[in-house]
């Protein structure tokens, strides 16, 4: 492909990586749907399977670097077989799942061209650090570096700066090793494309969830576009520290357990296992997912979404058994692996600190009175609402981008305030369990994080942000023209904030 314009090279590489993966996903989910499995359960099963694929690949690569190549080729052979089966049985392909997959593929391709159309396939991870924000640290390449060390058969300590390999969960590392094109693409470029594809799972997830909520197809498409065009997704699906992938997993767990399909599935152990795998996949992608899962637990009690014994056991066993494998790595291979926990819960950053996370947290609160704790919590909540109306204030583009990177409502674009109100309005309707789960997951994080200045988007789970946008579209979705107007406003804001050329 030498001699072609960089944007054409980028488009070709993206299509070769993205198209087979998405078509195989469509075929697989349609096969499940043809067996009377609801669309959301079919999609959730596939995405829960990413937990098994990513963690399994990680452990096989850790056991022997010789396993990486065969796993990668086996995945692509599986894609080819699945694609051939789909072509031969086109009549079984589900239209709604197909539209979700089309949204996934088109939004991923559009974002990659938007972000890297001028720079192409060279230096993609470095370009991602500055394309849509102020210069960011090298966190986006940590999963890639981990994968390269697994390929080489040696993991240094520390691995990245003063960070240990055990400080960041491994799922994106394993998924990159499995999913990347085995030939024809440089490792760094393959990593960026695969990682962006994984983060953009929030787009088809949004569409499927809205359809499950009874939103008409046109409005559900508009809802997916509202999410895809939000600053949150544009920034963090380009700078690929793995935070949107767990959001997609948490969204599906949320919709299954707190949504309208729950009464029909609460007796099914398989549904419990899927929710458990989605939850642990989120935790194995980004540690802040734990705050959301604690919020889910409280919301289940508050809304009496107490499942049957078989559902609960399946969810618990799938979560605990899977997570313990990573805990074993943190404990025995590259200990202690608790730096992020101490950072969030006690604001302890230095790697030299030898205290356990429990000791550091206890010491952080030892001299704090209860009134002081309440005051800090209220201050943190205030910081979480900073910049609510920044999008209507004239000012430098850099100020807009900074607000969208750090603050919650600007991260949603033009729908920030409306989305917050949508959550509150939903408390009074049939979506009350969903809204309670969003609010409690956010509240748990606000209360738990120690630093008042640490109440920023990138130290949180991204689930409440995307879920709030979904609840907004669920409210306005009965009027497709209104949903289209919201999506159009989001598009205009995105183009103004992140010009395609610049």
Residue 163: strand pairing partners: 160
Mean pLDDT of 203-224: 97
Query: Which candidate, 181, 139, 144, places its Cα nearest to that of 14?
Result: 181
pLDDT at 361: 92
3-state SS class at 162: coil
pLDDT at 403 over 90: no
User: Which range (34-48, 187-201, 312-326, 336-350) has the least confidence?
Assistant: 336-350
Give one DSSP letter per residue of 222-235, joined into a string. Answer: HHHHHHHTSHHHHH
pLDDT at 396: 62
Which pair of structure tokens corresponds to residue 385? 């609402």
Which pair of structure tokens corresponds to residue 54? 């990513």
Query: Which candidate, 94, 42, 38, places its Cα nearest to that of 260?
Result: 38
Helix axes 432-448, 416-426, angle to 10 degrees: 120
pLDDT at 500: 83
Mean pLDDT of 322-342: 93
Longest dimension (CA), the chain: 69
Distance CA(162)–CA(142), nearest Å, equals 12
Query: Which candidate, 415, 78, 50, 431, places its Cα nearest to that of 205?
Result: 50
Find the length of the chain. Answer: 502
Mean pLDDT of 269-285: 97
Query: Which candidate, 426, 430, 427, places its Cα nearest to that of 263?
Result: 430
Q: Which residue has the higher pLDDT, 36 or 480?
A: 480
3-state SS class at 121: coil
Q: Which residue has the higher pLDDT, 402 or 398?
A: 402
Q: Is 394 exposed, middle or buried (0-12, 13-18, 19+ CB in 10 A)?
A: exposed
Helix (H) or strand (E) holding 310: helix 309-328
pLDDT digits (tens, 9 = 90+) for 123-162: 999 999 999 998 999 999 999 999 999 999 999 999 998 8
Q: What is the DSSP letter of 113?
A: H
pLDDT at 394: 47
pLDDT at 393: 56
pLDDT at 412 over 80: yes
pLDDT at 184: 87
Task: Band the pLDDT of 429: cuts 50, 70, 90.
Answer: confident
Task: Band the pLDDT of 175: cuts 50, 70, 90.
Answer: very high
pLDDT at 229: 98
pLDDT at 170 over 70: yes
Distance CA(355)–CA(362), nearest Å, equals 10
Contact 138, 145 (CB under 8 A): no
Mean pLDDT of 286-303: 95
What does the CA dihedral 39, 41, 43, 45 come to, rounded to 10 degrees? -150
pLDDT at 1: 52
Distance CA(279)–CA(41), nearest Å, equals 15
Q: What is the mean pLDDT of the chain?
A: 93
| Count of CB atoms situated within 10 Å of the CB of 48 | 23
């Amino acid at each position: 492909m030498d001699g072609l314009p960089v944007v054409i090279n980028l488009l070709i590489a993206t299509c070769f990586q993205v198209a087979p993966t998405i078509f195989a996903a469509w075929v697989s989910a349609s096969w499940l749907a043809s067996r009377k499995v609801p669309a959301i359960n079919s999609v959730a099963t596939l995405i829960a399977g990413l937990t098994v694929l990513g963690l399994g690949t990680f452990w096989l690569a850790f056991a022997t670097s010789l396993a990486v190549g065969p796993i990668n080729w086996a995945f692509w052979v599986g894609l080819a077989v699945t694609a051939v089966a789909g072509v031969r049985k086109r009549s079984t392909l589900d239209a709604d799942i197909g539209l979700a997959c089309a949204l996934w593929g088109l939004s991923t391709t559009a974002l990659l061209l938007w972000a890297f159309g001028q720079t192409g396939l060279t230096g993609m991870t470095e370009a991602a650090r500055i394309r849509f924000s102020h210069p960011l640290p090298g966190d986006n390449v940590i999963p890639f570096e981990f994968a390269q060390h697994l390929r080489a058969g040696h993991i240094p300590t520390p691995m990245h700066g003063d960070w240990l390999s055990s400080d960041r969960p491994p799922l994106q590392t394993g998924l990159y090793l499995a999913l990347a094109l085995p030939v024809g693409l440089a490792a760094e470029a393959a990593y960026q494309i695969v990682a962006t594809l994984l983060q953009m799972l929030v787009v088809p997830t949004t569409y499927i969830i809205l359809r499950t909520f009874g939103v008409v197809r046109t409005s559900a498409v508009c809802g997916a576009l509202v999410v895809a065009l939000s600053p949150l997704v544009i920034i963090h699906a380009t700078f690929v520290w793995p935070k949107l992938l767990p959001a997609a997993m948490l969204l599906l767990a949320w919709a299954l357990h707190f949504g309208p399909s729950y009464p029909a599935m609460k007796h099914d152990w398989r549904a419990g296992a899927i929710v458990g795998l989605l939850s642990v996949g989120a935790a194995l992608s980004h540690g802040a997912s734990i705050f959301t899962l604690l919020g889910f637990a409280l919301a289940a009690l508050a809304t009496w979404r107490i499942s049957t014994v078989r559902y609960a056991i399946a969810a618990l066993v799938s979560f605990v058994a899977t997570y313990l494998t990573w805990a074993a790595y943190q404990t025995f291979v590259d200990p202690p692996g608790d730096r992020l926990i101490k950072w969030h819960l006690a604001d302890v950053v230095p790697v030299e600190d030898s205290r356990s996370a429990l000791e550091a947290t206890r010491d952080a609160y030892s001299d704090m009175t209860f009134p002081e704790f309440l005051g800090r919590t209220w201050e943190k909540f205030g910081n979480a609402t900073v910049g609510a109306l920044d999008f209507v204030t004239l000012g430098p583009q850099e100020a807009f981008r900074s607000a969208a990177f750090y603050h919650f409502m600007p991260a949603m674009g033009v729908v920030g305030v409306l989305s917050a109100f949508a959550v509150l309005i939903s408390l009074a309707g049939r979506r009350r369990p969903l809204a309670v789960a969003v609010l409690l997951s956010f509240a748990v994080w606000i209360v738990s994080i120690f630093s008042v200045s640490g109440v920023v988007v990138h130290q949180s789970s991204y689930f409440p942000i995307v879920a709030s946008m979904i609840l907004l579209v669920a409210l306005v979705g009965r009027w497709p023209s209104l949903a289209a107007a919201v999506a159009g406003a989001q598009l205009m804001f995105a183009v103004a904030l992140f010009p395609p050329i610049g």
